[in-house]
Amino acid sequence: MPPRSQPSERQRRLGAELKKLRLRAGLSGDQAANLIDADRGRVSNIEAGRVDVPRNGLHKLLRAYGCAEGALFEGLMTMAQDRGKGWWDGYRNTMGRPALDLAELEARASGISTHELLVIPGMFQTADYARAVCETADEDDAAAIDRYVCFRLDRQRLLAGEAAAPYHAVIHEGALHTRVGSPQVMRKQLLRLIEVARAPHITVQVFPFEAGAFSAFSRTFAIFGGPTPELDTVRLEQPVTSAVLHDPVHLDRYARLFARLSELALPPIDPDSSPESHEDRDSLSLIQHLMYAL
């Protein structure tokens, strides 16, 4: 089978981790190739995510690279055996590689932490709000908009079920003020935000204006938990595309960044509490205030 031209993010990540381990072990590409009875070109393709490595071959490489059996070892073995199949298969001919990679990242994550500056996170968007976002993005293809909205709503299935992974969102207050669609669309969207926070695995916090500019300097990003911290992934949202980071320095930086954002944000939504119990300002009281003001 010829090398794939568009490896998925999971495939690229597996290759990058193998290369990192090989270099740390001080082995050359030729030495790695000898371990699996291959040539150096195949090792290069494995490390670029363009071809798969058989289970037995991966086991040999990890052992030779000094990767002890444990969470990282098993995590890499699982990544290699994963076929990348999921609900997103139905979109393979209509959505780009970045969108499919996002869906797979979300589905495989042990937990997700996200910081959003300007709009409500896609996981929490209503259909009308999502459509208004797509229309605002200078998209005039009605069929494409329908496709984007359906894809975004399908992603939300991740939040359902008893086995759903923890999801923690820190949303800048500016996103709650930004008018997306009509006042009615915004009102329903804010209500939806309160409703999703009722789930025990979902935490929603608002980063208020008075907390300062710290949130603005951190941009929009998401952290996807891996089977072990070394396999976490950071995804940065950018105007045209997105950037994916998995260097240990970046992982540590964004983990600390999110912890600080959460610390500075208002207390999370607790929909079970009554309005009368809100002696101090919290995320729920702010969202309700904005919702009733529309």
Tell whether 114 and 234 lie within a shared domain: yes
Measured CA to CA, the distance from residue 24 to residue 67 in angstroms comes to 10
CA 276 centroid distance within chain: 36
Q: How far apart are the first and last CA of the chain?
A: 58
Tell whether 219 and 169 lie within a shared domain: yes
Tell whether 100 and 242 lie within a shared domain: yes
The CATH number for 67's domain is 1.10.260.40
Instruction: Count CB-CB contacts under 10 A for residue 181.
Output: 18
**pLDDT for position 284:** 86
Strand arrangement, sheet containing 221-224: 202-207, 167-172, 112-116, 221-224, 233-237, 242-245
The verdict on residue 3 lying in a domain is no
Tell whether 171 and 225 lie within a shared domain: yes
Average pLDDT rounded to a whole number, residues 115-135: 95
Residues 169-201 pLDDT 10s: 999 999 999 999 999 999 999 999 999 998 999
Between 216 and 161, residue with greater pLDDT:
161
Tell whether 58 and 192 lie within a shared domain: no
The verdict on residue 131 lying in a domain is no
CB-CB contact of 186 with 260 (8 Å): no
Tell whether 220 and 170 lie within a shared domain: yes
Instruction: List residues bridging with 233 in a β-sheet.
Output: 224
Residue 165 has pLDDT above 60, yes or no: yes
Measured CA to CA, the distance from residue 191 to residue 269 in angstroms comes to 12
Residue 256, token pair as written in the block: 């600390």
In sequence order, the 6+-apart residues with CB closer than 8 A to the CB of 254 are 221, 223, 234, 245
Average pLDDT rounded to a whole number, residues 132-154: 87
Tell whether 119 and 166 lie within a shared domain: yes
CB-CB contact of 286 with 266 (8 Å): yes
Tell whether 185 and 231 lie within a shared domain: yes
Report H helices in the chain: 9-25, 29-35, 40-47, 55-64, 71-81, 97-108, 127-136, 142-155, 173-177, 183-196, 214-218, 248-264, 283-293
Between 160 and 281, residue with greater pLDDT:
160
**pLDDT for position 161:** 79
The verdict on residue 129 lying in a domain is no
Last residue of one domain, picked from the residues 59, 81, 103: 81
The verdict on residue 147 lying in a domain is no
Q: How confident is the model at residue 138 (pLDDT cuts 50, 70, 90)?
A: low
Tell whether 168 and 59 lie within a shared domain: no
The verdict on residue 68 lying in a domain is yes
**pLDDT for position 271:** 62
Alpha-carbon separation of residue 154 from 56, 159, 234 (angstroms): 36, 10, 22
CA 260 centroid distance within chain: 19
Residue 151 has pLDDT above 60, yes or no: yes
Domain count, the chain: 2
Average pLDDT rounded to a whole number, residues 100-107: 94
State the average pLDDT for the chain. 91
Average pLDDT rounded to a whole number, residues 67-94: 92
CB-CB contact of 250 with 266 (8 Å): no
Q: What is the pTM for the complete model shown?
A: 0.92
Instruction: Count CB-CB contacts under 10 A for residue 194.
Output: 16
Q: How confident is the model at residue 270 (pLDDT cuts 50, 70, 90)?
A: confident
**pLDDT for position 280:** 63
**pLDDT for position 236:** 93
The CATH number for 245's domain is 3.30.870
Tell whether 71 and 215 lie within a shared domain: no
Tell whether 38 and 118 lie within a shared domain: no
Last residue of one domain, picked from the residues 81, 108, 132: 81
Q: How confident is the model at residue 155 (pLDDT cuts 50, 70, 90)?
A: very high
Measured CA to CA, the distance from residue 220 to residue 39 in angstroms comes to 42
Last residue of one domain, picked from the residues 62, 81, 100: 81
Q: Which domain holds residue 278?
A: 92-124+157-293
The verdict on residue 72 lying in a domain is yes
The verdict on residue 144 lying in a domain is no
